[in-house]
């Protein structure tokens, strides 16, 4: 392991010069040897090139993405506080505890609600807005920058800002009072009946811009001739959108939904900043990742935390595989399913 790390940063620093790769390239120049030997040498050279070019990425990826997963599966069988090698083998007990913990069932429910409602709210809204903004209007590039703004601002900043605005004596309630909607004032963050809706609102605000930009990009790749032809045939604007644009936007919509689902499954920063691990529980906004951090790291139970990580992995994996199997297949054909070809 320590080997991996010793070499990686060095590779990063070689970026400009890349002496290793450069010399391999220049050694290719000499006069051509006889055919058979050349082919053999060519094959060896090919292997070397592949190894040099893909080695670093694969090494880093295996060490920091794949290996931790395997490690989590191992630690998940122990009661372990993070110091020294784990010795207290508890078998499947951690998993039993997780699955029977009412707090976990709750976070599972919250995560599910957020996942489904994010799709249901942001999807149609983003498609509608993208169709609207795809028309010939002035200031299109300025609009694109401005609607992407919330996505670019970090979760920590968004969380800090919103939690100040949404306090019971904060800006939103003040604003409502001023425009004569005082009866709508509420304790947006602490009221357990309301908090998850507040969270959904903030999520939609933060990520809708990304969805719209993605949809706009998708719309722009649809050839204009199609809708022009339909128009000549007498199709109305809505007919064109429904029969031509939407179906052709399908791949974009499906990829967006995939990213949104993954985002919902890993939702952490916003909740952690706005509510914190303990209040989130009582306000009804805690997510799987909040549960993992609270029960794992903050409580010093790395064995239990690892087991939660494994459960989250499995849930994401199942969701992602099902999604790919049934929806994404055509879009990423040659990508995830059968490799680069």
Task: Provide the strand spans (E) within the chain.
Answer: 78-79, 88-89
Stretch that binds other proteins, among 98-106, 113-121, 190-198, 316-324 (CB under 8 A): 316-324
User: Is residue 10 close enough to count as binding other proteins by CB under 8 A?
Assistant: no
Task: List, in sequence order, the alpha helices (H) in 155-242.
Answer: 155-165, 171-178, 195-220, 224-232, 237-240
| 110 in Cβ contact with 116 (< 8 Å) | no
Nearer to other proteins, 10 or 193 (CB): 10
Of residues 42 and 193, the one with the C-beta less far from other proteins: 42
Does residue 294 touch other proteins according to CB under 8 A?
A: no
As a whole number of angstroms, the distance between CA 216 and CA 238 comes to: 17
The CA distance from 169 to 111, in Å, is: 29
Q: Residues 256-285: x/- map of binding to other proteins (CB under 8 A)? A: ------xx-xx-xx--xx------------
Q: Of 90-98, 115-123, 169-177, 192-200, which segment contacts other proteins by CB under 8 A?
A: 169-177
Distance of alpha carbon 187 from alpha carbon 163, whole angstroms: 11
* CB 121 within 8 Å of CB 205: no
Within 60-79, the residues that bind other proteins by CB under 8 A are: 60-61, 63-69, 71-72, 75
Among 94, 173, 198, 260, binds other proteins (CB under 8 A): 173
Residues of span 232-261 touching other proteins by CB under 8 A: 236-238, 251-252, 255
Closest approach, Cβ 28 to other proteins, in A, equals 4
Of 128 and 193, which has the nearer Cβ to other proteins?
128
Closest CA to 56 of 101, 8, 91: 8
Is residue 299 a contact residue for other proteins (CB under 8 A)? no
| Binding characters for other proteins, 110-139, by CB under 8 A (x = yes) | -------------------x--xx-xxxx-
Nearest CA-CA partner of 209 in 139, 146, 136, 124: 146
Nearer to other proteins, 64 or 278 (CB): 64
The answer to whether residues 320 and 303 touch, using CB atoms and an 8 Å cutoff, is: no
DSSP codes of every residue in 230-247: HHHTT--HHHHIIIIIHH
**Closest separation between CB of residue 295 and other proteins, Å?**
10
Q: Does 187 bind other proteins (CB under 8 A)?
A: no
Q: Which of residues 84-113 bind other proteins (CB under 8 A)?
A: none
User: Considering only 104-112, 114-122, 191-199, 292-300, which stretch makes contact with other proteins by CB under 8 A?
Assistant: 292-300
Q: Does 313 bind other proteins (CB under 8 A)?
A: yes
Three-state DSSP at 88 gives strand
Structure token digits, residue 283: 């306000």
At its nearest, how many Å lie between other proteins and the CB of residue 112?
16
H/E element, 103: helix 102-133
In contact, 95 and 304? CB cutoff 8 Å: no
């Amino acid at each position: 392991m320590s080997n991996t790390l010793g070499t990686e940063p060095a590779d990063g620093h070689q970026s400009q010069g890349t002496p290793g790769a450069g010399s391999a390239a220049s050694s290719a120049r000499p006069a051509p040897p006889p055919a058979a030997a050349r082919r053999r040498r060519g094959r060896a050279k090919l292997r070397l090139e592949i190894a040099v070019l893909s080695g670093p990425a694969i090494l880093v990826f295996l060490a920091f993405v794949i290996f931790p997963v395997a490690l989590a599966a191992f630690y998940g069988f122990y009661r372990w506080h993070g110091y020294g090698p784990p010795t207290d083998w508890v078998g499947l007990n951690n998993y039993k505890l997780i699955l029977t913990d009412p707090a976990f069932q709750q976070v599972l429910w919250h995560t599910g609600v957020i996942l489904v409602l994010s799709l249901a709210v942001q999807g149609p809204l983003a498609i509608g807005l993208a169709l609207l903004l795809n028309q010939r209007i002035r200031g299109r590039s300025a609009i694109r920058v401005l609607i992407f703004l919330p996505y670019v601002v970090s979760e920590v900043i968004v969380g800090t800002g919103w939690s100040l605005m949404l306090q019971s004596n904060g800006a939103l309630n003040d604003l409502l009072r001023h425009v004569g909607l005082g009866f709508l004032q509420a304790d947006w963050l602490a009221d357990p009946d309301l908090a998850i809706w507040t969270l959904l609102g903030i999520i939609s605000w933060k990520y809708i811009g990304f969805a719209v930009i993605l949809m706009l990009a998708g719309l722009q790749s649809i050839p204009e001739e199609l809708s022009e032809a339909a128009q000549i045939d007498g199709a109305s604007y809505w007919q064109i959108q429904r029969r031509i644009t939407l179906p052709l936007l399908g791949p974009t919509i499906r990829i967006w939904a995939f990213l949104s689902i993954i985002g919902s499954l890993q939702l952490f920063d916003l909740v952690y900043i706005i509510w914190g691990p303990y209040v989130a529980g009582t306000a009804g906004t805690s997510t799987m990742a909040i549960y993992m951090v609270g029960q794992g790291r903050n409580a010093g139970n790395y064995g239990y935390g690892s087991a939660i990580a494994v459960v989250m992995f499995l849930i994401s994996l199942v969701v992602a595989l099902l999604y790919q199997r049934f929806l994404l297949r055509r879009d990423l054909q040659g990508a995830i399913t059968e490799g680069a070809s």
